[in-house]
Amino acid sequence: MKPLSLYIHIPFCLRKCHYCDFLSAPAEEAVKEKYLAALLAEMEREARHYGGHQVRTVFIGGGTPTCMAAEATAMILGRLRELFAFGPPAETEITIEANPGTVSLDKLKQYREAGISRLSIGLQSADAAELKILGRLHSWNDFRKTYEAARRTGFHNINVDLMAALPGQTKATYAATLAKVVALKPEHISAYSLIVEEGTPFYDRYGPGQEGEASLPSEEEEREMYLLTASFLQQHQYARYEISNYARPGFACRHNMVYWQRGDYVGFGLGAASMVADTRWSNLKDLSRYLDRPEQLKEAIQILTTSEKMEEFMFLGLRLMEGVSREQFRKCFNQDIEAVYGAVLAGLEQQKLITVGSNIALTPYGTDISNYVMRQFLISDI
Ligand code: SF4
């Protein structure tokens, strides 16, 4: 059976964080109930297309999925198991995203009983002032309690999300966050730099030309934080396996690996993205339309051309430290990678931005300027 990953989007949060442009908002209980019904109906309608697939990973993301009742989450997973063929439980990674303070011991127990094996906690920073600036509702102490409760209920695979380049953040406060988190020994740490997105309160405060812009770390400071993440986490036995992701041996996120390796995945819920057999689509992003017109959810359907597939293969695969496999390229496209990218590979190798062997991978310098490297693989520009 072909492997398949499932993503479930829960677009609700207790309150909107100031920097957030994700598809999420606070909602009344009645809306959450209606959403659950629409989500279950969507799963039901779509499942028949995936008879030949076996589910290997599930990711329940948001939003804050943990602001739904645990019974609702259990119901979603129960129904998925009825509708899809799942692999053996020990080999199926099931992740839920959680925000500190939104899960009790009881709720975590219910998640474990529902088969959830991985918890991804959105901490972002251990610094009280930075959390306040971000508009996060929790404190470091709330995070500690959530983390300890997760351990007590048997979660042996925990990710902690962190953010760098925050307004007012210094290398010292960032280093203190890293040290506090590493002391707890989570299995996985994701560390992304803040992007000030248009349409957010952050953009009005810290966007180009705004008064707060000067409080953002400079490019040089941001780079120092980025280098610190890699060196500090590597010293503490976290292997960097993707540009922004670090894990102890055996704990790389299998669900995200599917995205980077262009495996098949189906997303359910508001705005959820899917890619199956080189066709990409996403669900509409308007909540009232999602709730009221369930038969017309899919939009932006795109059947990828060979060039687009090759570009994606390179962009996504090069995010991984192991890089892209020459053999895999040949299998996917029935030609050698040199036939398409020979000159690009030679040029980047000469600039010491990539290494070229049975796999093609970014060097540390190439990782630092990965956006530049990725751009070289646009086929229209070759
Ligand atoms: S908790 Fe996450 S999804 Fe919700 S508003 Fe904050 S950043 Fe956005």
In which residue are the tokens 């979603």 written? 76
Q: What is the pLDDT of residue 16?
A: 97
- Rounded average pLDDT over 94-118: 97
The residue ranges of every structural domain in the chain are: 2-259, 305-382
The band of 200, judged by pLDDT with boundaries at 50, 70 and 90, is very high
pTM as predicted: 0.96
Query: Which residue owns the Cα nearest ligand 1 atom 2?
Result: 63
Domain 305-382 indexed as CATH 3.10.580.10: no
Check residue 81 and give its pLDDT.
98
pLDDT at position 296 is 78
CA angle 9, 124, 240 (to 5 degrees): 90
Per-residue pLDDT at 380: 79
Model confidence pLDDT, tens digit, residues 225-260: 999 999 999 999 999 999 999 999 999 999 999 999
- Given the candidates 1.20.120.80, 3.40.50.720, 3.30.70.20, 3.20.20.70, the CATH classification of the domain at 2-259 is 3.20.20.70
Quote the ligand 1 centre to 35 CA distance (angstroms): 18
Q: How far is the CA of 223 from the centre of ligand 1 (A)?
A: 25
Residue 314's pLDDT is what?
A: 97
Q: What is the largest CA-CA distance in the chain?
A: 60
Compute, in angstroms, the gap from residue 159 CA to the centroid of ligand 1. Answer: 16
Task: Count how many Cα atoms sit within 13 Å of the Cα of residue 262 in the half-sphere of its side chain.
Answer: 22
DSSP letters of 215-273? GSPPHHHHHHHHHHHHHHHHHTTPEEEETTEEESTT-S-HHHHHHHTT--EEEESTT-E
Q: Quick one: which atom of ligand 1 is closest to the CA of 124?
A: 7
Residue 287: the pLDDT is 96
Instruction: Give, for ligand 1, the residue of 9, 17, 137, 270 to mutate: max count of ligand atoms closer than 8 Å to Cβ.
Output: 17
Tell the residue nearest (CA) to atom 6 of ligand 1.
Answer: 17
Residue nearest to atom 3 of ligand 1 (CA): 63
172 has a pLDDT exceeding 90: yes
| Confidence band, pLDDT 50/70/90 cuts, at residue 364 | very high
Q: Would you state the pLDDT for residue 293?
A: 76
With the most atoms of ligand 1 within 8 angstroms of its CB, the residue from 9, 18, 24 to mutate is 24
Q: Over the stretch 279-306, which tens digit does the pLDDT of each residue have?
A: 999 999 999 999 987 777 888 899 999 9
- The ligand 1 site (C-beta within 6 Å) comprises 13, 16-17, 20, 22, 24, 62-64, 99, 122
Question: 104 CA to middle of ligand 1, Å?
Answer: 19
E strand map for the chain: 2-10, 53-62, 85-86, 93-98, 118-124, 158-164, 188-193, 239-242, 245-247, 265-268, 273-276, 279-283, 298-303, 324-325, 354-356, 359-362
Residue 97 is predicted with a pLDDT of 98
The rounded percent of the chain whose pLDDT value lies above 70 is 100
Q: Is the pLDDT of residue 381 over 80?
A: no
Distance CA 58, CA 93 (A): 6
